[in-house]
A = this chain, B = another copy of it.
Amino acid sequence: MSASGSNTQILANKYSPTGAPSLDIFKTVTVPAPTKDSLKENQVLIRSLYLSIDPYQRNRLTGATDYFASQYELNKPIHNPGSAIVEASTSPDFAVGEIVDVPDINWENLSVIDATALRKVPSGTSARDLVTIFSLPSFTAYVGLTEIGKPKAGETILVSSASGAVGQIVVQIAKARGLRVIGVAGSDDKVEHVKSLGADAAFNYKKCGDYVEAIKKVAPEGIDIYYDSVGGEMLDAALATINDGARIVICGMISQYNKASGEVYGLKNSMKILDRYATVQGFLVGRYYGTATETAFISEVGKLYREGKIQYRVDETVGLENAPQAILNLFEGKNHGKSFVKI
């Protein structure tokens, strides 16, 4: 927590177009904190409690302008979903002491924000839930699986980054819905974790040799759904093993984010989209907030979570000053479960 009157901020310092960025892409500064006197009409002074850290943030630090999310502005705070507590308010909708869901919170202790940029917290949900079980990655898992994957009991789903923030939820919802679930992860430890979540099989892509053979070995019946968070070679291998009418959910392509254009992996098996009349689809999770899909998500996932049918592994970092290292760890795959910062 910042000293009274001062505000620690994590700023974007410079862009890193390709490769693994280092800490100097961030800059930590201390500035005077806003007070309740700063509030204009219908604004709220919030104290940050939890910050979500997500893989897609890598793309907001490249300087490239053609990504769906805008680039972080240099010398301004990083921002991403989080949760906060209201310290002062000129809005009739938010009271002092109320926990709020902040779809786009600045990485700083205290912020002045328009009330319209805050969301009410669904009942029974904590500030920590908002960056863990009900966070963007969980909703992303749900939207991708249900809206694009259209899972049917008895089908086989392959899930990459199956131990990650999105993957672990995909694995467990798919299992709860009666699918055969195959997980892929990047360490033996993560593979064991995926199996402990109920996956029928899982393998370590760093040790399995040929990906196509590795998939066929554990899913000789072929893949009906591939929930992809990595892209590149694993996406290509999945295409080689899909069944007729398969759905490939494009949620992320983390294996490709740090590649220079000449190093991008060239997909060889795109003809399988034709041969298997498959669907390969990206999606914008934000479009599903406030829809029946969000209601179904809170209901279905909340129920599974309360019944202990969903385990949720998290990678917690304590202290705002440690957020830069936490995000670099995520970019390098060193996290284990959903990353977030507790301030």
Contact = CB atoms under 8 A, between A and B. Distances in A.
Nearest to A66: B275
> In this complex, which of A266, A268, A271, A283 has the most chain B Cβ atoms within 10 angstroms of its Cβ?
A271
A282 interface: yes
Given A244-B68, A266-B266, A268-B264, A274 B282 contact: yes
A278 interface: yes
Interface of A: 66-68, 231, 235, 244-245, 250-253, 256, 261, 264-268, 270-271, 273-284
Contact of A280 (B231, B245, B261, B281): B281
Q: What are the 3 A-B residue pairs with the smallest beta carbon separation, nearest first?
A: A266-B266, A277-B282, A267-B267
Contact of A284 (B253, B268, B273, B277): B277
Contacts of A250: 273-274
B256 A271 contact: yes
Given A231-B270, A252-B274, A277-B282, 4 more contacts: A251-B274, A267-B270, A279-B281, A281-B281
Nearest to A284: B277
A253 B278 CA distance: 14
Contacts of A251: 274
A67 B275 contact: yes
A253 B282 CA distance: 21
Contacts of A277: 68, 281-284
A279 B280 contact: yes
A251 B279 CA distance: 12
Given A68-B244, A244-B68, A273 B267 contact: no
